[in-house]
Structure 1
Amino acid sequence: MSPKWKLGLQREVNMPELAEVYYYAKQWAAGKGKPVSRVELHAKSRVFRGCDTGELEEGLNGAALKEILTHGKQMLFKFSRGQWLAVHLGMTGETRVAPQPYEAAKHDHLVLHLRDRALIFTDPRQFGLVQYHQGNALPEFWQALPPEIGSDAFTTALLTGVLQRHARVPLKMLLLDQRYFPGVGNWMADEIMWQMKLPPATPSGSLTGKQVTALHRTVKKVCKGAMDTVGVDWSDPPQDWLFRYRWEDGHVCPRCQAELVRESLRGRTACWCPVCQKRN
């Protein structure tokens, strides 16, 4: 049976965060270098809104998967002949691989059949999105994405500007804004706030210069830690993180043993320690 936090991860997170997206994207790595023999899809599914499914079928037939890219909550698959397939998992989407012969299930909206296996995108609630692009260069929508948190472009100066522009927004909520923090979701934002020892409702513009530097370091640390554990093999994050204790009522802070608080903040569940993260 899965640990409680893993069941919570499946239940509470509205959309997979950067580590979960990376984990799911690399499941298709089993198909690298192998040509697509048949494309099977549900053309009327909402996941293809805005996508020409006829072009997708024609373009990917016979093309081989060459490269897998992820950016925050987005994944992009590069195929031969200048074919690109972008997938956003939405709330319930999942990519996986199955051996052949494979028969598509009800919620399998896209199946790329290879000779010995099938690459599958399934999404029961159809909040995910599939995009198709043809061309030698990266799709424009991918090039327009904000700097990745793990990149050199995500600087303290960039972070400072974001905090100043949204000075009155609770910091926990700003961390969820994909325009600035691609891939950060609810549990990661709680983790960052806990490691910073700041309550989730802290106004973003109230941080001192020293705190902004610490926030920059902490955001990068939490993202890297998630990628090194959940993103690799869905394994446990570090024992001393808030992560394991935030999913249900009644848990205590792993740092000071005070009972954790779980309340709604602008419609999202926030978990924090009332002792370590005291309000001013």
Structure 2
Amino acid sequence: MPELAEVEYFRQQWDPGIGGKIKLVECNPKARIYRENSAKEITEALTGATLRASFAQAKQMLFQFSGGRWLGLHLGMTGKLLCVAKQPERGKWDHFVLRQASRTLVFRDPRQFGLLRLHIGQEPPAWWTELPPAILSDAFTPDVMNAFLQRRAKSPLKAVLLMQERFPGIGNWMADEILWRAQLHPEIKSGKLTSEQKETLYRKVREVSADALCAIAGVGGELPADLNVNIPESWLFWHRWRDGGHCPKDDEALQRKAIGGRTSCWCPRCQRP
């Protein structure tokens, strides 16, 4: 599932369309992405509107259109946004297409776990404004993080990092990367961290978020075949996926186990229980 940086990258793909009028909306009305608002509702609201701005927060996106129209978009597991200069036919998995005079904005989602949400009003929808503070914002402080850890004191730290109400945008690979850099075992209970470990965790949560945004969302240009091309080999990222993968720090064989319902990967030497 796309995480913080992937979502920001895909948000940028529709930015060339900002300032352009939507001449035609094409939908697959049977697609599951319309389970909150129908394809007809969205088509009627956006046809003739102008795309004004785009925003990303956690794993969600928001697009502002003229006339107080707002479109929320969640990529789900396989969703992606594309902007193409031509006017191609709508593809099999292109369940939502916005046609402008000189470009086409596409939402492609083979597995249809994504979601579109329409809001009409002068202000952004409540479900957007009530999202938790972004990890790189001033509102995400050590005190805020520590208080949340204490409320989840008996939960494994890996599971807590995946809780979107406090760590918005953090997914499986980012959580593993954070714990590996912080040298914390994924099964350690959140309430057992020392003050020093909490300080380290806070720094690494923000560090990995910033590094991921730079490496993935900062690539710009055309959509690459692999969004992760700029991630260095020195990260845990590449090694955690490989069979027989080894820690890039000390070459120790990596271990894997399901923690909090998600497969976790760690180095038994760097991250002792």
| TM-score bucket of the superposed structures, by smaller chain | over 0.9
> 2:268 maps to what in 1?
274
1:49 to partner: Cα distance? 0.8
Query: Any conservation in 2 of the 1:38–1:113 contact (CA below 8 Å)?
Result: yes
Separation in structure 2 between the aligned mates of residue 103 and residue 71 of structure 1, nearest angstrom: 31
62-71 or 51-60, larger mean C-alpha shift: 51-60
Query: Any conservation in 1 of the 2:4–2:59 contact (CA below 8 Å)?
Result: yes
| Aligned residue runs from structure 1 range 209-220, under 5 A | 209-220=195-206
1:60-96 Cα deviation digits (max 9, x unpaired)? 1111111110001101111122111111000111111
> 2:132 maps to what in 1?
146
1:137 to partner: Cα distance? 0.9
- Decide which of 132, 142, 166 is 2:152's aligned counterpart: 166
| Aligned residue runs from structure 1 range 98-109, under 5 A | 98-109=84-95
AA in 2 matched with 1:181: F
- Decide which of 236, 253, 266 is 2:247's aligned counterpart: 253
Count of equivalent residues: 265
Other structure's SS at 2:26 match: strand
* Unaligned segments of structure 2, at least 5 residues: 220-226
Query: Any conservation in 2 of the 1:249–1:260 contact (CA below 8 Å)?
Result: no
Question: Is 1:186 the equivalent of 2:172?
Answer: yes
> 1:11 maps to what in 2?
none
- Decide which of 36, 51, 60 is 1:50's aligned counterpart: 36
1:245 to partner: Cα distance? 1.1
Question: Is 1:71 the equivalent of 2:65?
Answer: no
Query: Any conservation in 1 of the 2:87–2:99 contact (CA below 8 Å)?
Result: no
- Decide which of 206, 209, 222 is 2:192's aligned counterpart: 206
1:237 to partner: Cα distance? 2.4
Query: Any conservation in 2 of the 1:102–1:117 contact (CA below 8 Å)?
Result: no
Query: Any conservation in 2 of the 1:39–1:111 contact (CA below 8 Å)?
Result: yes
1:218-243 Cα deviation digits (max 9, x unpaired)? 10000000000111123422443211
AA in 2 matched with 1:36: I
1:272 to partner: Cα distance? 0.6
AA in 2 matched with 1:125: R
> 1:3 maps to what in 2?
none
Separation in structure 1 between the aligned mates of residue 30 and residue 178 of structure 2, nearest angstrom: 40
- Give the CA RMSD over aligned residues: 1.2
Question: Is 1:224 the equivalent of 2:210?
Answer: yes
Separation in structure 2 between the aligned mates of residue 248 and residue 57 of structure 1, nearest angstrom: 44
166-175 or 92-101, larger mean C-alpha shift: 92-101
Other structure's SS at 1:246 match: helix
AA in 2 matched with 1:165: R
1:128 to partner: Cα distance? 0.6
Structure 2-normalised TM-score? 0.94
266-275 or 151-160, larger mean C-alpha shift: 266-275
Question: Is 1:237 the equivalent of 2:228?
Answer: no
* Unaligned segments of structure 1, at least 5 residues: 1-14
Separation in structure 1 between the aligned mates of residue 147 and residue 83 of structure 2, nearest angstrom: 42
1:117-169 Cα deviation digits (max 9, x unpaired)? 11011111111100011111111110111111011111111111110111111
Query: Kindly, what percent of the aligned residue pairs are identical?
Result: 46
Separation in structure 1 between the aligned mates of residue 128 and residue 20 of structure 2, nearest angstrom: 24
Question: Is 1:120 the equivalent of 2:106?
Answer: yes
262-271 or 203-212, larger mean C-alpha shift: 262-271
Separation in structure 2 between the aligned mates of residue 187 and residue 132 of structure 1, nearest angstrom: 30
Separation in structure 1 between the aligned mates of residue 45 and residue 265 of structure 2, nearest angstrom: 46
